[in-house]
Amino acid sequence: MENIMVGRQPILDKKENLFAYELLFRSPKNNEIFDGEKATAEVIMNSLESIGLPNLTQNKPAFINFNTKMIKNKIFDILSSDSIYIEILETVEVDEEILSICKELKSQGFKIVLDDFEFKESLIELVKIADIIKIDFLNTTKKVRKETLYLIKSKYNKDVKFLAEKIENYSHLKEAKKFDYDYYQGFYFTKPDIISGRKVEPFKQSYVNILEELNKEYPDFRQIENYIKQDLSMSYSLLRLVNSAAYGYDINSIRQGIVLLGVDKLKKWSLLYSFKSLNSKKPDILLITSLTRAYFAESLKQHLDIDEDLFILGMFSLINAYLDRDLKDVLPLISMKSKFKDALISKEGKLGEVIKIIEIYEKSNWQDLNKYSLDKKAVSNDYLEAIENAEEIFEITY
């Protein structure tokens, strides 16, 4: 299949746990942006046939956009109501046919989601049967948002759930929590919440010692064993990883696990564990995103002709979000190559391009890929593989 380009954006619940993903599609071919009908068809077919829906959504529900033609053509007949939320775009003109089809969808068990919602009289009957209404926090005022919630809950649908989308900063999130939104979506969850005067929490010394030892030409595995044994939860995590089906070992000692995993896998595991321990209040999706970035960065070195271990570059690209501080404040605390630190801050040079390409995939800004000489199909496949690898290692370790 030509240039599979499926993006995904996480949707979190009130506790900031992963609830679902919204799936997005664009084509980078000739800078083409498909219309809604073709885009949705591509999302569905790519997801179901080529990529695999569970791989994309971590077995969570998938929100998929539907425009007027897609609804009237009943493309959803090939989908399962257990895994798909029908997201009706704001461009859909609600007539009797659309309303009848949506009622049919409800009877089949599908959930109806109204995207970029702005109240209109013509939408009242659809509002009455909607399961989720998405409110855009960038393109509406606080006053309008408040009035919309009150009007719908008090007059038209007291059971509907509200999703705050395009949450870009802490004030957005604070408002969404205050007015009891059920779900959140936006890039805020991969950005730091910078609060003046907050202490920068460094890595535990044991994590620093392990990473420094692993970066030596001839690591002392006995010393690494001692560091790990000092932390009971770390010891448990290592044994759980090595004994998992993914590795197929059956061991009972830390030293045996260290030897079996080897330096490369130990580095990845120790980074994962240390990140998880940095800030337990952060949503798990941040850790999964960090891991995805790490695996994707690792794959990009072959496309950009870079002779460096880029796993650590991708992983640490979100360290500021974990510690809620600016990268310029955080990076001096970390033992890392200076050129990596420079790239993370400036996003310049070949290493900076790695970060830019990662962000393009996260935000589904496919047209920006035309700035780079890349095999888009191969890179996209690597991105999807990075998602799988990240979620697999996360599930095993936690």
Same domain, 322 and 364: yes
**What is the SS3 assignment for 54?**
helix
Looking at residue 233, its pLDDT comes to 67
Same domain, 137 and 257: no
Q: Which candidate, 327, 268, 18, places its Cα nearest to that of 276?
A: 268
Same domain, 88 and 236: no
Domain assignment present for 1: no
Looking at residue 39, its pLDDT comes to 62
Distances, alpha carbon 144 to alpha carbons 117, 119, 157, 183, 256, in Å: 11, 9, 18, 18, 61
Q: Which candidate, 202, 65, 233, 224, places its Cα nearest to that of 134?
A: 65
Domain assignment present for 197: no
Same domain, 117 and 230: no
Same domain, 38 and 87: yes
Same domain, 162 and 241: no
Domain assignment present for 348: yes
Separation of alpha carbons 123 and 285, rounded Å: 33
Provide the domain count of the chain: 2
pTM of the model: 0.72
Same domain, 130 and 253: no
Under 8 Å between Cβ of 179 and 146: yes
Same domain, 170 and 218: no
Domain assignment present for 376: yes
Tell which of 135, 155, 190 closes a domain. 190
The CATH number assigned to the domain holding 149 equals 3.20.20.450
The CATH number assigned to the domain holding 334 equals 1.10.3210.10
Please, what's the largest Cα pairwise distance for the chain?
73
Domain assignment present for 370: yes
Domain assignment present for 146: yes
Who's near 386: CB < 8 A, 6+ residues apart?
292, 293, 294, 295, 296, 298, 299
For 330, other C-beta atoms within 10 Å of its C-beta total 22
Same domain, 239 and 316: yes
Secondary structure element (H or E) that encloses residue 59, with its range: none
Who's near 274: CB < 8 A, 6+ residues apart?
203, 204, 207, 211
Under 8 Å between Cβ of 274 and 236: no
DSSP 174-224: HHHHHTT-SEEESGGGGS----TT---PPPPHHHHHHHHHHTSSS--HHHH
Distances, alpha carbon 179 to alpha carbons 113, 115, 161, 188, in Å: 19, 19, 12, 18
Same domain, 162 and 253: no
**What is the SS3 assignment for 163?**
strand
Tell which of 134, 163, 190 closes a domain. 190
| 8-state DSSP, 48 | I
Domain assignment present for 103: yes
Total residues found in the chain within this entry: 398
What tens-digit pLDDT sequence spans the chain (398 residues)? Answer: 345 567 788 999 999 889 999 987 665 554 444 455 666 666 666 666 556 777 778 788 999 888 888 888 887 777 778 888 999 988 888 999 999 999 999 999 999 999 999 998 889 999 999 999 999 999 999 999 999 999 999 999 999 999 999 998 888 999 999 999 999 999 888 766 654 444 444 456 666 677 778 777 788 888 888 888 777 667 777 777 777 655 666 666 788 888 888 888 887 787 777 776 766 677 888 888 988 999 999 999 999 999 887 888 898 888 888 777 788 887 876 667 889 899 999 999 999 999 999 999 888 888 888 888 888 888 988 998 898 888 877 776 66
Domain that holds residue 47: 6-190
Under 8 Å between Cβ of 313 and 183: no
Tell which of 128, 163, 190 closes a domain. 190
Same domain, 115 and 245: no
Cα 312 vs. chain centroid, distance in angstroms? 18
